Chain A
Amino acid sequence: MATKKEEKEFEKERKAAIKARHKKMKEDGIEKYLTPEQIKYNRRKKAIGTVWPFFRFIILFGLCFIILYPLIFMLSTAFRPNEQMNDPSIVWIPKSFTLSNISDVWKVMNFTDTVINTIILNLIASVLQVITCSLTGYGFARFKFKGKGILFAIVILMIIVPPQITTIPLYMQYAYFKPQWLAKLLTGGETTLINSGWTMYLPAMFANGIKAGLFIFIFRQFFRGLPKELEDAAYLDGCSPLYTYVKIMVPNAKQSFLTVFLFSIVWYWNDYYVSSSFFTKNDTVALMLKNLNTNLTQQLFDGQSVSVRQIIVWLEAGCLLSITPILIMYVFLQRYFIEGIERSGLAN
């Protein structure tokens, strides 16, 4: 193995050699070496090579602008005093900045408690989900058993069936959870699981959380891509499958674990459908944001209506607050999102 320094030197030498050869070719007359078609091909390639980067830059710049537009708008309005929303001379940069929108929304959303509550819910559910989904994915990837086809079809069904179909029966199941002693044990005396975090933890614990089907699928694809020799060696040494999985497969699949974990956190963070069905008190950031408009009218404006253009500043401030934690995570870990997906099983 050459070190990086050596590799750089090799590269330098290679380039110098190519340059020298090109020079010699030019001196001798290029026709000697290449056919007319090759010359034409090279010329066209060179032309495309010089023009394309400009086009690429324009396309990417425009599209990046489209994507970033709402974020820029958010930043622009979140710190703007609400009277200035009606000022036609202001497009992007307000005449003065204020933090009052943020602090208003912080109060209305009860942000400190909400964020802590959401993070706890998210972390526990995501960790449970990753563990169980990876076990299931491994089972599907490496073992042959009867009915595997049908069972895997159910996994696909889990991806396709919209959660809206199963929500109401699920609500009934949680509300009248049987056996009752278990419900009492879990919630500490209550007979219903509604409004307790267990409506999130229990499905995650049994590999049925939000988007669990997709995660099982990703894990299965990933484990299938790992070489079989890894486990065969362990089996010959007399390891049990579970031990082999923990000691050999998990360390090899770190990257895909991280990717799935991050996606799981993102989806739990953004979910408001499932949580709004099972929570009426237990507030998450997404729920708070969903109800922000109503809460604002009730708590901040005392039931008076505020002009639609002015209310934007509070709504956008709320958006900014609620995406900031996840955005910070993304900035630091974005390479795991991208590389993880590229290297994990999805590439197969």
Chain B
Amino acid sequence: MSEIEKNTSEAEVQEIVQTSEDTAVEAAAASAPAKKEKKHRLSYEKRKGLYGYGFIAIWILGTIYFFLLPLVESLIYSFNQTTVQPGGMEMKFIGWDNYVNAFRKDQDYSLALVNMLKNTALKTPLILIFAIFIAIILNQKFHGRTFARAVFFLPVIIATGPVIDIINGNMSTGGYAGGSEQFSTMFEADLVDQLLNFLGIYNISDKLTETINSLTTDIFNLVWNSGIQILLILSALQGISPASKEAAQMEGATSWEFFWKITLPHISPMILASIVYTVVDSFVDPQNEVMTIVLNKSTNWEHGYSAAMAWAYFAIIAVCLAIVCAIVNKFVYYEVD
């Protein structure tokens, strides 16, 4: 009984909302006589806007203190020669010198930077293709799916911590636990070479063979780094309505066609998100070469220099991301607006 009442009252409320919206629209359409009502609506919206500020006020305060101020501060460091004194930081303005030094004098830095960019450019598409493939498999129905999903998301939980360093064997004092290395040696048998031979593409060029080999031995890192991406793409796959699949089957589409014509456009926004995530994740990782150099400099108390390196690095990431996003965004298909 009470539920029916609730339903009707809800319907009424909706009707009221509807009518009030209608009148508002009418008011906007008919100009002069309904001016009063328009004014009222504006003030209501203004009030709502104020509430919006209220909701994000905590974040604004926090961001100014914990994010923007330090960000500006480190930008200032990067133009200064800094020395740490008890009681604060002493700075001497030296202009662009830190930046010039980073690229001109420090040979490791630019080399690491180029390596980093190369690696990321190679790895990102691989991780994406792999993630899409796995997500599609995990989206099918089969026995043990829950277990398989749980296993594939396991890296999300472990891979961000120091455990992965021990597994990978690159703890500070040299590699010994070496799980991934040990694992790679299991695959280092000539299987890959034989496969290449069989396909007739062995020894076409040394570089090609080398690239393929390095990719196959790196399968451990590939699998361990694509947990979040699989999660993102799987969530997008869940959004494809079963109706569209049925319709495609009625029309006689093969799974191949279905993938290119329906699945891919549908998950394209999430692909973009995964690209951004992958790139940012690999750039931000404290384990990568450039970050190691930057952090070493800052533990040597050369804060200004390290800030300059970090900022140059960040600028390059931002430009790369912007270019990639601009290109990929052209192919992204948004269902709503």
Chain A positions within 8 Å of B134 at CB level: 63
B280 touches which one: A160, A166, A233, A338 (CB < 8 A)?
A160
* Closest chain B residue to A287, Cβ basis: B162
A330 touches which one: B77, B152, B154 (CB < 8 A)?
B154
User: For residues 84 through 99 of chain B, which have their beta carbon under 8 Å from a beta carbon of chain A?
Assistant: 87-89
Contact in complex: B291, A132 (CB < 8 Å) = no
Contact in complex: A143, B166 (CB < 8 Å) = no
Count of chain A residues with a beta carbon within 8 Å of a chain B beta carbon = 97
User: For residues 235 through 258 of chain B, which have their beta carbon under 8 Å from a beta carbon of chain A?
Assistant: 235-236, 238-239, 252, 254-255
Least CB distance from B105 to A in Å reads: 21
Contact in complex: B53, A145 (CB < 8 Å) = yes
Chain B positions within 8 Å of A272 at CB level: 161-162
Contact in complex: B55, A241 (CB < 8 Å) = yes
Known: A143-B51, A236-B13, A308-B176. 9 other contacts (CB 8 A): A48-B255, A135-B58, A136-B55, A139-B55, A139-B59, A143-B52, A145-B53, A323-B158, A342-B235
A166 touches which one: B45, B67, B160 (CB < 8 A)?
B67
**With an 8 A cutoff between CB atoms, is B112 at the interface?**
no
Chain A positions within 8 Å of B294 at CB level: 164
Q: How far is the CA of A145 from the CA of B156 in the complex (A)?
A: 36
**With an 8 A cutoff between CB atoms, is A293 at the interface?**
yes
If over half of A's interface residues share one DSSP class (helix, strand or loop), that class is named, otherwise mixed; here it is helix
Chain B: number of interface residues, binned into ranges: 35 or more
Contact in complex: A145, B163 (CB < 8 Å) = no
Question: What 0/1 pattern do residues 24 to 43 of A give for CB contact below 8 A with B?
Answer: 00000000000001100100
| CB-defined A-B contacts under 8 Å, sample of 22 | A41-B254, A44-B254, A64-B148, A143-B53, A145-B50, A162-B291, A169-B69, A169-B71, A169-B77, A176-B87, A206-B65, A206-B66, A236-B13, A242-B54, A286-B162, A311-B176, A312-B177, A315-B176, A315-B177, A323-B157, A341-B234, A347-B236
Contact in complex: B151, A68 (CB < 8 Å) = yes
Chain A positions within 8 Å of B157 at CB level: 266, 270, 323, 326-327, 330
If over half of B's interface residues share one DSSP class (helix, strand or loop), that class is named, otherwise mixed; here it is helix
Stretch at the interface among A7-15, A93-101, A151-159, A179-187: A151-159
Stretch at the interface among B23-31, B117-125, B199-207, B217-225: B217-225
**With an 8 A cutoff between CB atoms, is A202 at the interface?**
yes
User: For residues 63 through 82 of chain A, which have their beta carbon under 8 Å from a beta carbon of chain B?
Assistant: 63-64, 66-70, 73
A176 touches which one: B88, B137, B307 (CB < 8 A)?
B88
Chain A positions within 8 Å of B13 at CB level: 232-233, 236
Stretch at the interface among A52-60, A106-114, A119-127: A52-60
Chain B positions within 8 Å of A318 at CB level: 166
